[in-house]
Amino acid sequence: MSNTQAGHATRVLLAKIGLDGHDRGVKVLARSFRDAGIEVIYTGLWQTCEATMLAALQEDVDIVGVSLLSAAHLTVMPEILRIRKQLGVEHIPIVLGGIVPDADQPKLKEMGVAAVFNPGSPLDLIIDALRELAASQQEVKLADVRAGYEKRDPRALAKLITKIQHDEDLADFKPPAGNAKIIGVTGAPGVGKSSFIAKLGRRLRDKGSKVAVVAIDPSSPITGGALLGDRLRMMAGTPDTDFFVRSLSSGGAQGALAPHCTDVIAALNGFGFDYIVVETVGAGQSDVAIRDLVDKTVLLLMPDSGDSVQFSKAGIMEIASCFVLNKCDLAGADATQAQLIGAVGDDRPVFRVSTIRDEGVDAVADWVATS
């Protein structure tokens, strides 16, 4: 029985590949899928075939949806399918949306594209097709997942995380203890957590370390669907198998986390990563559960995000191991830094960062590596 048949949300990765710079349509689809109870991983504009399929592997998605408006379908789709085979994830169906001439659709289906949707295709038809494709997938046996995990196969790691998230019985299987340093990154919505983690992760990779990211986004309280958009800040054109990103939906969990976070971290730790970065949902003052899962907690703030009274309140300010004042390219950074230090003292580091200018991240990476 497939995960979808067992009542779990269908996971769909949506990708814009190539030089097409318009993504309004695919964003509308992403929101519509979320509203239909689907978990959507959107990877952003200008992606490569290689990065897209590596993301699909790590996210263990049920379907990859490719959006093309540049008439490149007979070039892009064979490459996507070739890389799918190369990565050993041929079980993941590939669907295509875009302006595709009727004469080309049989060619695409013959080469292995599961479905083609032109502009104007009814939304209900698309959603039903996605669910049908997801339901047709066979569940991977725990014994196969365990054997692959022990061989350090990233496909098995991705499948193991899915089984953990679905609360499946893992029998007596427990990942080995690892030596990863576990870093929590939290902060209010909009402070730039994902962009910061992307920069931090690359700096740690430059030091030769293997990095995993657990990126949590909120689930819809109405449909249970989710738009998991954190990954688009972390995607790079060149795939990096030692930079593993997994998006999770909060699923109603408290504390700005997701269900089974402890077990997901343990699976990543036992796989041999040097650093595991856990990004919370946009957090409020009382969302402090991340403290119990990590070695260090990085709290992101931004200019004009509070004053000395706000910074003195109990809760999330107390659990920070360091503070990152992000978006320091904006006005008000100096005043916010002064108020922050005045409220919390100087016993915990305060780093000034601008991810848009790529400034200040090196100092944080050095602190993470040595503290």
Q: How confident is the model at residue 2 (pLDDT cuts 50, 70, 90)?
A: very low
Sign, CA dihedral 91-96-102-107, equals negative
- pLDDT value at residue 1: 40
| Nearest by Cα to 167 from 253, 59, 271 | 253
Q: Hey, what CATH class is 11-135 in?
A: alpha beta
Is residue 6 over pLDDT 70? no
Residue 123, pLDDT score: 95
As a whole number of angstroms, the distance between CA 306 and CA 295 comes to: 26
Whether residue 326 contacts residue 350, with contact meaning beta carbons closer than 8 Å, is answered with no
Lookup: tokens for 303: 């200019």
DSSP string covering 116-171, please? EE-TT--HHHHHHHHHHHHHTSPPPPHHHHHHHHHTT-HHHHHHHHHHHHTT---T
Give yes or no on whether 11-135 and 181-370 have one common fold.
Answer: yes
Beta strands in the chain, from DSSP E residues, in sequence order: 11-16, 39-42, 63-68, 94-98, 115-117, 181-187, 211-217, 226-228, 243-249, 275-279, 296-301, 322-325, 350-352
* Phi, psi torsion values for 189, nearest 5 degrees: -60, 135
CB 312 within 8 A of CB 340: no
In this prediction, residue 5 has a pLDDT band, given cuts at 50, 70 and 90, of very low
Question: 18, 72 in Cβ contact below 8 A?
Answer: yes
The pLDDT assigned to 8 comes to: 85
Q: What is the C-alpha separation between 169 and 187, in angstroms, rounded?
A: 34
CATH topology for the 181-370 domain: Rossmann fold (3.40.50)
Q: At what angle do helices 261-271 and 142-150 cross, to 10 degrees?
A: 40
Q: Which residues, other chains included, contact 85 with Cβ-Cβ below 8 Å and sequence gap of 6+? A: none
Query: What is the model's pLDDT at position 7?
Result: 61
Q: What per-residue confidence (pLDDT) applies to 229?
A: 82
**pLDDT score, position 309:** 64
Higher pLDDT, 98 or 21: 98
237 confidence band (pLDDT: 50, 70, 90): low
DSSP labels for 87-101?
HT-TTS-EEEEE---
pLDDT surpassing 90 at residue 310: no
Assess contact for 303 and 192: CB atoms under 8 A: no
The mean pLDDT of 324-336, rounded to a whole number, is 95
Whether the pLDDT of residue 243 is over 50: the answer is: yes
User: Sorting pLDDT into bands at 50, 70 and 90, what band is 3?
Assistant: very low
Q: What angle do CA 217, 218, 224 make, to 5 degrees?
A: 125
Greater pLDDT, 364 or 253: 364
Sequence spans of domains, the chain? 11-135, 140-171, 181-370
pLDDT band at 131 (very low <50, low <70, confident <90, very high): very high
- Banded pLDDT at 234 (limits 50, 70, 90): confident
79: pLDDT confidence band, cut at 50, 70 and 90?
very high
Mean pLDDT, to the nearest integer, of 59-88? 94
Least confident span in 204-208, 218-222, 356-360: 218-222
Q: Quick one: average pLDDT of 213-242?
A: 87
pLDDT in tens, 200-217: 999 999 999 999 999 999
Q: Is the pLDDT of residue 306 over 80?
A: no
